[in-house]
Amino acid sequence: MRVVDPCGCFPTGRHYPGIAHLIKVRAIGCAPEIDPATPWIDCRIAFLDVETTGKDPQKDRVVELAVVLGERGEVIDRKSWLINPGVPISAESSAVHGIKEEDVVGKPNFAEVAPEILSVLEGCVPAAYNASFDKSFVLAELDRAGIRPNAPPPAIRRDVEWLDPLTFARELYKDEESRALGDMAARLGIQLVKAHRATDDSEAALRVLYALGKDARVPKNYAGLVQEQRRLGRVQDEARRMWRKTN
């Protein structure tokens, strides 16, 4: 059932305080096991980052995956896996993340580490910087491995929106030339030591999300954040389409 206003209002805008508590609704894009009214900063967030053999999730593979867990504005755990992709790592990709063929020799393939990854993601709000990239690779790897859990964590359910601080960075810093992770981290005073390595990127991006969340224009509850992100995403997608038409 649709919900666009997590404040207790009906979609019509009218309030029915006598019966509102009897009606259960779900905000689109939210994980149903997480109360949509919860302040998102209090939620356990699983911030993912993948390094890959290339840019196409249908033919390229994950070589490194990291999950940094955050809760109540703090980093509480870090997990990472080097993965043997079973295909060559392009020189172009190695030049970005520094992972070479010899680094993954003898490492497990994605299917072997998938159960551990899924366990870490259980019950967490998923997030990534430029989330469509990371989400597409994670889902593609799971599909190739034939892994379909009976009770999948939010991150691998296609109807659950991943939080993406890049969407808010594009809005809040629209006059800046770049909203790339490294530039946003530097702008906000966040340390990023090993750019384009999964754990370092994940942690820096999580801290960017927490920093952006302090802005008064960013909704404070989980459902509100997801709905605003979806709205901004549509606006930004349309702006990019218009730009392509005129250039």
pLDDT of the residue at 26: 63
Check pLDDT > 70 for residue 47.
Answer: yes
Q: What is the pLDDT of residues 237-246, one digit of tens each?
A: 998 888 888 8
- CA dist 177 and 64 (Å) reads 29
Distance between CA atoms of residues 136 and 34, nearest Å: 23
pLDDT bin (cut points 50, 70, 90) of residue 49 is very high
For the entire predicted model, the pTM comes to 0.87
Strands of 62-71's sheet, edge to edge?
A: 74-82, 62-71, 45-52, 125-127
* pLDDT digit string, tens, across residues 137-193: 999 999 999 999 999 999 999 999 999 999 999 999 999 999 999 999 999 999 998
Tens-digit pLDDT profile for residues 205-214: 999 999 999 9
pLDDT digits (tens, 9 = 90+) for 63-82: 999 999 999 999 999 999 99
Task: Tell me how far apart the alpha carbons of residues 49 and 202 are, in angstroms, rounded to a whole number.
Answer: 5
| Cβ contact 30:226 at 8 Å | yes
> Contact 161/135 with Cβ under 8 angstroms?
no
Q: So what's the pLDDT on residue 124? A: 98
What kind of fold does domain 36-245 have according to CATH?
Answer: Nucleotidyltransferase; domain 5 (3.30.420)
Q: DSSP letter for 160, please.
A: S
DSSP 163: B
Cβ atoms of 114 and 79 within 8 Å: the answer is no
Residue extents of the structural domains in the chain:
36-245
